[in-house]
A and B are shown apart, each in its own frame.
Chain A
């Protein structure tokens, strides 16, 4: 069953060569490239029969064997519904883009992104592996990013592209975390394997709630649910075909698809119910109200899409058979009419040069075919019989009336949203074409065939599906619904069910919708006032606040940590070191005072006193030379201490090293400017002093602990016993230096000579510079 692989990856391949195809046939590239989505549509149409009978098709191979990740595809009723939407609308959109962007220098690139999106979206709905699903999911976000930012000369387009990517990309990552956790619980990342195990292991797991939130975060960001809906209206910066395809018909439904796909695992949980119904309901109403405020054709459509996505989420949340069927039927309905409306909006923009509804009117004479297409779609949106939209609306009413909880609330919300939909449908699909011809920036003219064929076909399908709803309903919606509900469903779809509450509600909707349309101007002003008042606490402001806050924090952190001052850097390193070592010492280790009392002889005490004075001088002195000499005194003191405790070789080395260091210091410091006092304020000095004291304290503690350690028999006795027998020498110190530790001595000599050469080099450099003018 390699067909599914070919179906997904042929899109990527064609995307890679699309710019060249465009270069070869710049005028006909849309039509040529559309042949692939057309072929794929035919391929999926062939599967309708078997799948309607309950078959499912699988394909898979091992991808990352070490982690048990397979690239596996599954075609069942739910995927098929989406696949047909993706490839079918894809075909029309590719043709449309060829005409819409005719002569645009980057059209080839545009087609490449569009095909890449189509292939990724097919991957999302066909993947049976959670990780593969995530990968394709992110690829759709990515192609959406490029498509929104396609018109990149405008800053608004760039900002919108980035916003969409940030919101959906972040959601995608949350989704991945959720899916990984699910994989851990089920021991497999295959979705079908999880389904087979049922919802038990997941719902009884303590991590159930976090997983639910993570998965829904992915779904809600992608499907523009409140409060993540802000990116979708801004995404209208994209060219019209992109809005129609990605941001109405397919990509934004990926979240809905995900919710439907994993529904059998989460269903039954009250959290699942309330999160979906709550977010869906709020989004549905908010989107519809905000759509009334807008005047730009595309932004109106965008908010009504937000509202439609809310409706879908709400319906899936209700989790009854009727509601699921309603959701899937509405998904199809919405894809058809919204795709068509976006495409006609593009055609109107193309033909009349404006998308402002206030400026448009009477275009039916100039653009008759576009007007026909828009009218068909708008009537479907308004839910007028015999359009498919009517069937969709009827099933929605039946579903909300059958809701188990909060029936009154859900039903009134659905009623409100639907009556606003009637008004919106009339505003965008009918109003621009009727009445008197208004003055437009461009003399209106009919769009070329590329631009009207797509919307007209979509509108016609909407009408045809309404006339024979049984065929569509049975073959697609029921199979898909049975996947979502995880059991077989049998309902009869028809245009006319006889007189019932749903029909009554429809009549109310239509009448109220017409009223709203008539009173749209005062209503829109009212909504605008409310939304203006709420803007300071709205999510759009929140997005920018988070963005600015993060950047502000970054600047703050940089100021504190990256001051450029070395002493500040050292401070942090020391602080952490003392903290880390001190913490382990005092809280983890058993510290104890050394048992044997230290016998301090008077000259030792005197020497230490001298060293202390020297150290204090080094701190206090402002002159570099004095500091260096004081430090030298400390060093020589240490050497003397070594000598007192019977380590002449060590003392010797230390003296040599000290001497060289002092010389080097003097040579270099002589050439440097005067000391700059960095820590001026008393606070800084106090901080410096406390860090220094803490370091000293740590060292003291460590030295005191180290004193107790006695590993081997004292090495001194070994030397005195064996110096004659092994090395034939009476002078033990000599024997140690040249025999027992001969290599050490050689090493020390080498180091010293290297350092000497260095000093010589420095001196020479200095004299060389001195001679130069």
Chain B
């Protein structure tokens, strides 16, 4: 093993380094510029993330470990890093005018966003339980702060506090699980755990089993699976909408990246055990998420419950523990990121100062007043409901057919039924937008399409909507990359 050469090791964590340095520059710039002029901070954050994305894409296809095997860069980590950075860039576009409108401290906001992204990339590259834990904390702590940032509204600090306390709890459980696992197999390195797992299983080692159980609880919290989901609606509703958008896709994807690496790949010898637990968690999440979303009046809360249901769909694919299943999960996460960001983008565009206008009834007659936003929202809602020919259908199709292929027919049937339930609340938004007349005197963020809320929002909406339609019609392209992301890893299964 020996000590890695430093430049080679640093090249492995190049995206993280770029993000971290950008975050520091952003923080420093914040001190230099007046509160009213935060454009430089935004630009630095944007181009820093872009550079990190470019660096990730440039290293597509390479496979390397560094820092005594604490981190590992391979196509899987690159695939996830692309999701995080893509989400980060779109979030930045969505944030620019929103941050100004809501009077959030811009410099801190962008810095925290960048640090959180750094943690996520670490999570994707984690090759050791210690890196997993550190990555999760680096990602989570900035998000706790971001959630509580909108101090004007009483909901935001409350949401932040709830998220912090419950999140801290989940972290402690996760850490305890790691400790137990270490006690059982004497290592925190994922490759070694994989090697030791069959022996520990044979001996029915209580520490090993309990450790894995606690790990599942910790990760279930991060991706908000039922019954670890309670924080989700409160936090999503209270947080600034741009932060909600970021959390609902990036934090979730990061949680799944760890779940795939640690549980599905490194603990594959005990697939029989965890796939049972996954089965139940998936069913509970799909049922509760979709059913409760039916009665939500606040669109952020509705999307929060919908995000719980979508975590359930991803878990359906992972329950199989097969290559097809992971492949489906990767595709799903990518597509989900685009459609959910888009939906929140419309929420930002429609809302007014002080996060007003986030009730579903505020969308009444939007097709008349804002035909283009309504059209974009229609694409996102159809996609979230899984209606062909949008990408959402492709994602669900991959996930459910993976389940059927692996013999989990009932799981797929429940999933399909629950998607049907979900159609009800997604289409409700459409009905409200297209089939009701706008109320007299209803306010919208003024001006012809897009101007006051900023070009960034409009651009990101169109990027998301067009990608969803593109991927819905030509999914082969994404499927190909997801396939490459799994190359060499699935021999572990």
Please determine whether A135 and B388 come into contact, CB atoms closer than 8 angstroms: yes
CA distance in complex: A161, B180 (Å): 56
Please determine whether A573 and B389 come into contact, CB atoms closer than 8 angstroms: no
Please determine whether B420 and A170 come into contact, CB atoms closer than 8 angstroms: yes
Please determine whether B217 and A573 come into contact, CB atoms closer than 8 angstroms: yes
**Nearest CB on A from B168, distance (A):** 11
Please determine whether B423 and A152 come into contact, CB atoms closer than 8 angstroms: no
Please provide the chain A residues from 119 to 175 with a CB less than 8 Å away from any CB of chain B in the complex. 131, 134-135, 138-139, 142, 145, 149, 152-153, 157-158, 161-162, 165-166, 169-170, 173-174
Please tell me which one of the listed residues B166, B295, B388 contacts residue A566 in the complex, with CB atoms under 8 A apart: B166
* Closest chain B residue, CB of each to CB of A142: B387
Please determine whether B204 and A588 come into contact, CB atoms closer than 8 angstroms: yes
Please determine whether A581 and B162 come into contact, CB atoms closer than 8 angstroms: no
* Closest chain B residue, CB of each to CB of A135: B388
Question: Is B435 among interface residues, defined by CB-CB distance under 8 A?
Answer: yes
**Nearest CB on B from A693, distance (A):** 18
Find chain B residues with CB under 8 A from A561 CB: 227, 230, 288, 292
Whether A588 touches B214, Cβ cut-off 8 Å, given contacts A181-B404, A558-B295, A573-B221, is: no
Find chain A residues with CB under 8 A from B184 CB: 709
Question: Is B256 among interface residues, defined by CB-CB distance under 8 A?
Answer: no
Question: Is B24 among interface residues, defined by CB-CB distance under 8 A?
Answer: no
Please determine whether A177 and B413 come into contact, CB atoms closer than 8 angstroms: yes
Question: Is A557 among interface residues, defined by CB-CB distance under 8 A?
Answer: yes
Question: Is B199 among interface residues, defined by CB-CB distance under 8 A?
Answer: no
* Closest chain A residue, CB of each to CB of B382: A142
Question: Is B294 among interface residues, defined by CB-CB distance under 8 A?
Answer: yes
Please provide the chain A residues from 694 to 719 with a CB less than 8 Å away from any CB of chain B in the complex. 701-702, 705-706, 709, 711-712
Question: Is B206 among interface residues, defined by CB-CB distance under 8 A?
Answer: yes
Q: Mark B102-146, 1 if CB is under 8 A from A, else 0.
A: 000000000000000000000000000000000000000000000
CA distance in complex: A425, B401 (Å): 48
User: 7 A-B pairs, CB-CB below 8 angstroms?
Assistant: A139-B388, A162-B427, A173-B420, A561-B227, A569-B166, A581-B213, A584-B209
Please determine whether B165 and A566 come into contact, CB atoms closer than 8 angstroms: yes
Please determine whether A184 and B405 come into contact, CB atoms closer than 8 angstroms: yes
Question: Is B343 among interface residues, defined by CB-CB distance under 8 A?
Answer: no
CA distance in complex: A220, B212 (Å): 47
Please tell me which one of the listed residues A153, A177, A566, A706 contacts residue B207 in the complex, with CB atoms under 8 A apart: A706
CA distance in complex: A423, B327 (Å): 60
* Closest chain B residue, CB of each to CB of A711: B186
Q: Mark A175-191, 1 if CB is under 8 A from B, else 0.
A: 01100110010000000
Please determine whether A557 and B292 come into contact, CB atoms closer than 8 angstroms: yes
The 6 A-B pairs at the shortest CB distance, nearest first, are namely A152-B435, A589-B206, A569-B230, A135-B388, A711-B186, A584-B209
Of B46-54, B391-399, B442-450, the stretch lying at the interface with chain A is B391-399
CA distance in complex: A575, B227 (Å): 10
Please determine whether B435 and A158 come into contact, CB atoms closer than 8 angstroms: yes
Please determine whether A706 and B180 come into contact, CB atoms closer than 8 angstroms: yes
Find chain B residues with CB under 8 A from A575 CB: 227
Whether A577 touches B214, Cβ cut-off 8 Å, given contacts A162-B431, A173-B417, is: yes
* Closest chain B residue, CB of each to CB of A705: B206
Find chain B residues with CB under 8 A from A449 CB: none
Question: Is A536 among interface residues, defined by CB-CB distance under 8 A?
Answer: no
Please determine whether A138 and B204 come into contact, CB atoms closer than 8 angstroms: no
* Closest chain A residue, CB of each to CB of B210: A581
Please provide the chain B residues from 410 to 430 with a CB less than 8 Å away from any CB of chain A in the complex. 412-413, 416-417, 419-421, 423-424, 427
Please tell me which one of the listed residues B293, B416, B421, B427 contacts residue A177 in the complex, with CB atoms under 8 A apart: B416
CA distance in complex: A410, B324 (Å): 49
CA distance in complex: A539, B395 (Å): 34
* Closest chain B residue, CB of each to CB of A707: B183
Of A43-51, A64-72, A462-470, A645-653, the stretch lying at the interface with chain B is A64-72
Find chain B residues with CB under 8 A from A701 CB: 206
Please name 8 further chain A to chain B contacts, defined as beta carbons within 8 Å, in addition to the given A66-B479, A149-B431, sorted by A numbering: A162-B424, A165-B423, A170-B420, A569-B230, A580-B217, A581-B217, A590-B203, A706-B180
Whether A589 touches B404, Cβ cut-off 8 Å, given contacts A570-B169, A572-B227, A573-B230, is: no
Please determine whether A580 and B427 come into contact, CB atoms closer than 8 angstroms: no
**Nearest CB on B from A157, distance (A):** 8
Find chain A residues with CB under 8 A from B413 CB: 177
Question: Is A562 among interface residues, defined by CB-CB distance under 8 A?
Answer: yes
Please determine whether A566 and B180 come into contact, CB atoms closer than 8 angstroms: no
* Closest chain A residue, CB of each to CB of B291: A554
Please determine whether A169 and B423 come into contact, CB atoms closer than 8 angstroms: yes
* Closest chain B residue, CB of each to CB of A137: B388
* Closest chain A residue, CB of each to CB of B435: A152
Whether A166 touches B210, Cβ cut-off 8 Å, given contacts A66-B476, A557-B291, A589-B204, is: no
Please determine whether A64 and B230 come into contact, CB atoms closer than 8 angstroms: no
**Nearest CB on A from B25, distance (A):** 21
Please determine whether A590 and B206 come into contact, CB atoms closer than 8 angstroms: yes
Please tell me which one of the listed residues B213, B233, B417, B437 contacts residue A584 in the complex, with CB atoms under 8 A apart: B213
Tell me the interface secondary structure of chain B in the complex: helix
Give me the interface of B with A, judged by CB distance under 8 Å: 161-162, 165-166, 169-170, 173, 180, 183-184, 186, 203-210, 212-214, 216-217, 221, 227-228, 230-231, 233-234, 273, 277, 288, 291-295, 327, 387-389, 393-394, 397-398, 400-401, 404-405, 409, 412-413, 416-417, 419-421, 423-424, 427, 431, 434-437, 475-476, 479-480, 483
**Nearest CB on A from B166, distance (A):** 6
CA distance in complex: A572, B227 (Å): 7
Whether A570 touches B166, Cβ cut-off 8 Å, given contacts A153-B437, A558-B295, is: yes
Please tell me which one of the listed residues B212, B221, B434 contacts residue A152 in the complex, with CB atoms under 8 A apart: B434
Please provide the chain A residues from 568 to 607 with a CB less than 8 Å away from any CB of chain B in the complex. 568-570, 572-573, 575-577, 580-581, 584-585, 588-591
CA distance in complex: A712, B388 (Å): 57
Please determine whether B295 and A551 come into contact, CB atoms closer than 8 angstroms: yes
CA distance in complex: A550, B423 (Å): 14
Please tell me which one of the listed residues A67, A590, A709 contacts residue B401 in the complex, with CB atoms under 8 A apart: A67
Find chain A residues with CB under 8 A from B291 CB: 550, 553-554, 557
**Nearest CB on A from B340, distance (A):** 20
* Closest chain B residue, CB of each to CB of A165: B427
**Nearest CB on A from B286, distance (A):** 13
Please determine whether A135 and B389 come into contact, CB atoms closer than 8 angstroms: yes
Please determine whether B186 and A705 come into contact, CB atoms closer than 8 angstroms: no
Question: Is A564 among interface residues, defined by CB-CB distance under 8 A?
Answer: yes
Please tell me which one of the listed residues B209, B394, B479 contacts residue A589 in the complex, with CB atoms under 8 A apart: B209
Q: Mark A671-702, 1 if CB is under 8 A from B, else 0.
A: 00000000000000000000000000000011
Please provide the chain A residues from 312 to 342 with a CB less than 8 Å away from any CB of chain B in the complex. none
CA distance in complex: A566, B186 (Å): 36
CA distance in complex: A179, B221 (Å): 36
CA distance in complex: A170, B293 (Å): 18
Question: Is A407 among interface residues, defined by CB-CB distance under 8 A?
Answer: no
CA distance in complex: A649, B394 (Å): 56
Please determine whether A709 and B416 come into contact, CB atoms closer than 8 angstroms: no
Please determine whether A554 and B294 come into contact, CB atoms closer than 8 angstroms: yes
Find chain B residues with CB under 8 A from A581 CB: 210, 213-214, 217
Please determine whether B431 and A158 come into contact, CB atoms closer than 8 angstroms: yes
* Closest chain B residue, CB of each to CB of A562: B233
Question: Is A555 among interface residues, defined by CB-CB distance under 8 A?
Answer: yes
Find chain A residues with CB under 8 A from B288 CB: 557, 561
Q: Mark A474-493, 1 if CB is under 8 A from B, else 0.
A: 00000000000000000000
Find chain B residues with CB under 8 A from A551 CB: 294-295
CA distance in complex: A180, B293 (Å): 28
* Closest chain A residue, CB of each to CB of B365: A152
* Closest chain B residue, CB of each to CB of A709: B183
CA distance in complex: A575, B417 (Å): 28
CA distance in complex: A512, B360 (Å): 56
**Nearest CB on B from A451, distance (A):** 26
* Closest chain A residue, CB of each to CB of B425: A554
**Nearest CB on B from A691, distance (A):** 13
**Nearest CB on A from B296, distance (A):** 8
**Nearest CB on B from A768, distance (A):** 16
Please provide the chain A residues from 199 to 244 with a CB less than 8 Å away from any CB of chain B in the complex. 207
**Nearest CB on B from A330, distance (A):** 32
Find chain A residues with CB under 8 A from B212 CB: 584
